[in-house]
């Protein structure tokens, strides 16, 4: 059965829902996201939050999974992978402890682990550049993990100097391989012998393909029904794709009617589009 709803979670003057990631298991869609809250004194705090659904229509109230701390602001869950009997979630810190609008140079990539998708470990930073210490890594955000079956390596893509890439055999020791041009919020899915990457330029969702996770061919940029959606008129971005049965589901966030230069911390909404082939997409107006 096809989904019947595109606008899943609506932001407002004090809440924004951004950067979706979804894990589907045992009939439950677990939607992880950045929850941005503006408090009564104007202070802005960011969290990873989780909402659940069994039908893609009705969703539970988002539950915060991380701490209230502007020097951490854990956010932008990339995805969840299963490795060695445990689930691993990758995400960022988005440090704004001095009142910055955007995350400062202390932003890093973090992992948490779980055995049951219910209880998560404390966040721990990931040394994505081999022997370099955490303090030497530079600003990095928006991680995403994918396993390459051809060489048995985990790949972590993240936003730094375009799109950077590091590899590991065990998700512990990492080697930095370099970077390429590209936007934020990378999401990658394998289909019919190709890797499909979705990433975020200034507006819309870029789509590129590769056979090796290294050399990429750019395809079209996706905008879905943005021109008709006031809630996403300013920016449509952060597409995250999962496959359930024979259907690809892309969760994304939209901001509107102004763009994120105006309303970065408020009003962002989570939306959904779907496809059978990763090329032709459907949605509800």
| pLDDT 10s digits, 91-125 | 999 999 999 999 999 999 999 999 999 999 999 99
Counting residues of the chain whose pLDDT is more than 70, the rounded percentage is 100
How far apart are the C-alpha atoms of 159 and 71, rounded to whole Å?
19
Q: Specify the length of the chain in residues.
A: 285
CA atoms within 13 A on the CB side of 103: 25
Structure tokens at 26: 């045992």
Is residue 240 within 8 A of residue 186, CB to CB? The reply is no
- Distant-in-sequence contacts of 195-202, Cβ < 8 A, 24+ apart: 195/146, 196/241, 196/278, 197/157, 198/222, 198/239, 198/240, 198/241, 198/250, 199/163, 200/237, 200/238, 200/239, 202/235
Is the dihedral angle over the CA atoms 212, 214, 217, 223 positive or is it negative?
Answer: positive
Average pLDDT over residues 228-245: 98
> For residue 1, what pLDDT is reported?
79
- Strand partners of residue 158: 164
Candidates 54, 13, 56, 18; CA nearest to 34 is: 18
pLDDT in tens, 47-101: 999 999 999 999 999 999 999 999 999 999 999 999 999 999 999 999 999 999 9
State the pLDDT at residue 285.
87
Give the three-class secondary structure for 282. strand
pLDDT at res. 19: 99
SS in 3 state form for 168-233?
ECCCCCCEEEEEECCCEEEEEEEECCEEEEEEECCCCEEEEEECCCCCCEEEEEECCCHHHCHHHC
CATH 3.40.50.720 is the classification of domain 10-279: no
What is the per-residue pLDDT across 35-51, written as a single tens digit (0 to 9) for each?
999 999 999 999 999 99
Which token pair is 46? 């960011």
Give the H/E segment covering residue 28. strand 28-38
What is the residue extent of each domain of the chain? Answer: 10-279
Residues 141-176: tens digit of each pLDDT: 999 999 999 999 999 999 999 999 999 999 999 999
């Amino acid at each position: 059965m096809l989904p019947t709803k595109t606008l899943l979670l609506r932001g407002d003057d004090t809440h924004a829902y951004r950067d979706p990631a979804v894990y589907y298991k045992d009939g439950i869609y677990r939607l992880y996201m950045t929850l941005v809250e503006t408090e009564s004194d104007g202070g802005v705090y960011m969290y990873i939050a989780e909402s659940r659904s069994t039908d893609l229509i009705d969703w539970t109230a988002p539950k915060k999974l991380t701490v209230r701390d502007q020097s951490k602001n854990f956010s932008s869950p990339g995805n969840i992978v299963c490795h060695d009997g445990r689930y691993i979630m990758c995400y960022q810190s988005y440090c704004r402890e001095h009142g910055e609008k955007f995350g400062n140079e202390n932003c890093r990539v973090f992992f948490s682990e779980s055995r049951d998708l219910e209880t998560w470990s404390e966040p721990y930073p990931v040394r994505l550049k081999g022997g370099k210490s955490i303090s030497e890594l530079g600003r990095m955000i928006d991680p995403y993990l994918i396993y390459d079956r051809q060489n048995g390596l985990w790949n972590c893509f993240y936003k730094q100097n375009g799109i950077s890439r590091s590899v590991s055999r065990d998700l512990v020791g990492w080697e930095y391989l370099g970077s390429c041009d590209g936007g934020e919020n990378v999401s990658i899915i394998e289909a019919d012998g190709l890797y499909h990457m979705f990433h975020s330029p200034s507006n819309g969702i870029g789509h590129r393909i590769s056979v090796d996770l290294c050399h990429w061919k750019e395809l079209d940029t996706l905008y879905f029904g943005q021109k008709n959606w006031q809630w996403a008129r300013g920016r449509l971005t952060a597409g995250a794709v999962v496959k359930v049965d024979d259907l690809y589901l892309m969760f994304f966030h939209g901001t509107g009617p102004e763009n994120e230069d105006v309303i970065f911390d408020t009003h962002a909404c989570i939306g959904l589009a779907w496809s059978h082939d990763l090329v032709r997409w459907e949605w509800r107006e």
